[in-house]
Structure 1
Amino acid sequence: MSESVSFGYEDVAPEEKTERVGAVFSNVAAKYDIMNDAMSGGMHRLWKDRFVRRVKPQPGEAILDMAGGTGDIAFRMAERGAEVTVADINQEMLDVGVERAMERGIAGLVWSRQNAEELDYIDRQFHAYTIVFGIRNVTHIDKALAEAHRVLKHGGRFYCMEFSTTDWPGFKEIYDLYSHQLMPKIGKAIADDEDSYRYLAESIRRFPKPPVFEQMIRDAGFEQTRVEQILGGAVNIHSGWKI
C-alpha cells in the first residue's frame, strides 16, 4: 500500500500534499497578516511576543526561522540583535516578508527558499531553530525535526509554536464552532478564499496532540523537551535542546 499523509481531513499522496499546501499559501500570502489579526482578534501578536521571549535571542546568534515567510518572528528576533535567516518553502510568502522588511527599514535578514525536510545548510550551523504555525503543514514532520536537529549546534535550542485542540470545558465547543464554521467564512470575506482557510482549520485537528508531538521531538534527538500551553492547549510552545 502506498504511503499517504493528511491534507486537512483528506488522506493524499505525499507529493500531492506538498503541492496543495504550496497552493494554499500562495493563495493566502497577500492577506496572511490581515487574516491572522481577524482570526485571532490580534492575539497572535501577543503569542508571538511570548514565543520570542522564550527563545531569548541574543546579539550575534545565528537563528534559523523556518516557515517564517512574512517575517513576524524574524523581525522580533532581529530587534534583539540576532542574525536571522528566514526560510520558507513558499516564494510568495518570502516576497511578502521582504516587502514588509523594506517598509519597516529592517536590514540584515537573510531570506531563503527552503524545504524544511531537506535544508541546504551544513551540520551544526545555527544556535537556535524556530518554526511558528508551520510544522503542521510539513509533509513529513519527522524529517523536518531531524533536519532541525542536524543544523543546530551542540547546545542549540529548538522552539516551535503550533495550534492544537483544547479540552477546556465550554471553550472547546466554541473553538470547534469557530474554526469549522466561522474561519472559512472569514477567509471568504477578507481573502476571497474559503477553501484554504477550511484546510487550515482541518489541519489543526489532524496535527498530533501535544504529548505525541513532544515524543516526536524527543525521537528526533532533542532533550529536556517542554510544552507550554496557551488557552488550554489551543496554542502550544514546544521546546527542546540538542545536547
Structure 2
Amino acid sequence: MSDQRVFAQGGMQTSYGFRTVADGEKQTLVNDVFHKVAKRYDIMNDVMSAGMHRVWKNAMIASLNPPRRPGFRFLDVAGGTGDIAFRIVEASDRQATGTVLDINGSMLAVGADRAIKNGYADNLDFVEANAEELPFEDNSFDAYTIAFGIRNVPDIDKALREAYRVLRRGGRFLCLEFSEVEMPVLDRVYDAWSFNGIPAMGKAIAGDSEPYQYLVESIRKFPRQRDFAAMIERAGFARVGYTNYTGGVAALHSGWKI
C-alpha cells in the first residue's frame, strides 16, 4: 500500500481530492474542473490511463451487449462528451436510443456537437441534470451506465438509489471506474505515475495541473472494489460483481434490478 493510500476511503461528500471542503462545496469545485477540461477530456483520459481507457470502455460495452433491435433504451450518466453512448449505439447497430446526462454544460456541449458530426443525433438526447436527482420516471431505462464519473458525485449512495429507481425490472447497472491496484509492483509504478507524471502532463497539455491533481487524488478517496460492490448491493441491486482491468487500475462493476 502506498503512502497516499492512508488517505483513502470515506468522506466522499466533503472530499475534494485530499482536501476536506464544506458540505455542498464539492459539486461546485468538481464542476469547475470539468469546465476546464471539457474540450480536452479524451486527451485527459489518455493521459491518466496511458490510452487504456479505450480498451476498458470497449470491454464495458461488450459486457453490456446491447441488443441489435429497436426498443433498447439506456441512460449514460456523467457521460457528457458521448464517449460511452456512441459506443453503445454502434454496438446495437444504431438501434438503441439513449440519454446522455451530465451536470456539466460544457461537457454536454462537446458531446452534442460530436453527436451531430458523427450521425448519432437521432439516437441520443443530452440532458443537464444531477445524478443524485434524475429527472426521469421510475422504470424508464433498460441500462444505466457511468464511466469514470461516480467518484465525482458527492452523495454516491443517493446516486446509486436513483440508478435503481429509473431502471426497469431486468435492467442492468454498469459502472467503470478507476480503482485500487491489486497487483504487486504495478501498484507502486502506478502511484509514481499518478502523483508525478499525470499532473505534469496535464500542465503540459492543458496548461493547468490542478484539475489533474484533483482527479488523481479522487481515485485514492474512492471506495475499494469490495466496498463499492457492497454499496451497490445496499442500493437494491442483485447479482452484483466486478471485474478488474489492468491489475485493478480500473474495475467494471455490475448489478441487476430484478
TM-score by shorter chain over 0.5: yes
Corresponding letter in the other structure for 2:114: R
Structure-2 separation of matches of 1:217 and 1:39: 25
Alignment partners' CA distance in 2, 1:190 and 1:231: 25
Provide Cα deviations, 1:119-158, integer angstroms capped at 9, x if missing partner: 1000010011000000000000000000000000111110
What residue is the counterpart of 1:139 in the other structure? Answer: 154
1:57 and 1:155 map into 2 onto residues whose CA distance is 13
Stretches of structure 1 lacking an aligned partner (at least 5 in a row): none
SS in 1 for 2:132: coil
- Higher mean alpha-carbon deviation, 192-201 vs 99-108, is at 99-108
Q: Which residue of 1 aligns with 2:199?
A: 184
Match of 2:163 among 148, 163, 170: 148
- Partner in structure 1 of residue 7 of structure 2: none
Large movers: runs of 4+ above 6 Å: none
Q: Name the residue aligned to 1:84.
A: 98
Instruction: Out of 158-167 and 53-62, give the one that drifted further.
Output: 53-62
CA deviations over 1:90-145 (Å, ceiling 9, x no partner)? 00000011111122122221110010000100001001100000000000000000
Alignment partner, residue 71 of structure 1: 82
Gaps of 5+ in 2: 1-11
Aligned partner of 1:47 in structure 2 is 56
How do 1:112-131 and structure 2 match up within 5 A? Answer: 112-131=127-146
TM-superposed CA distance for 1:4, in Å, is: 5.7
User: What is the aligned partner in structure 2 of residue 30 from structure 1?
Assistant: 39
Q: Is the 8 A contact 2:77 2:100 kept in 1?
A: yes
Question: What residue identity is the alignment partner of 2:77?
Answer: M
Matched-pair contact (CA < 8 Å) for 2:80–2:110: yes
Q: CA deviation at 1:35?
A: 2.1
Task: For 1:225, give the aligned amino acid.
Answer: V
Code of the aligned partner of 2:54 = R
Q: Distance in 2 between matches of 1:193 and 1:154?
A: 44
Indicate which of 201, 208, 214 corresponds to 2:223: 208
| CA contact 1:86–1:111 (8 Å) conserved in 2 | yes
TM-score (norm 2): 0.91
TM-score by length of 1: 0.96
8 A Cα contact 1:145 1:220, kept in partner: yes
Contact 1:210 1:227 in 2 (8 A): yes
Query: The residue matched to 2:25 in structure 1 has which SS?
Result: helix
Q: CA contact under 8 A between 1:14 and 1:139: conserved in structure 2?
A: no
Give, in whole Å, the separation in 1 of the partners of 2:54 and 2:13.
Answer: 34
Contact kept, 8 Å, 1:230 with 1:236, in 2: the verdict is: yes
Distance in 1 separating the partners of 2:22 and 2:66: 38
Question: Which deviates more from structure 2 when the two are superposed, residues 141-150 or residues 72-81?
Answer: 72-81
Report deviation, 1:196.
Answer: 0.3
Task: Kindly indicate whether the alpha-carbon contact (under 8 Å) linking 1:4 and 1:11 is maintained by their aligned counterparts in 2.
Answer: no
Query: Higher relative contact order at CA 8 Å, sep ≥6: structure 1 or structure 2?
Result: 2
Residue 15 (str. 1) matches residue 24 (str. 2): yes
Count of residues in correspondence between the two structures: 241
| Aligned residue number for residue 56 of structure 1 | 65
Q: Percent identity among equivalent residues?
A: 51
Contact 1:66 1:116 in 2 (8 A): yes
Once the two structures are overlaid, the 10-residue window that deviates more, 12-21 or 32-41, is 32-41
Partner of 1:227: 242
1:167 aligned counterpart, secondary structure? coil
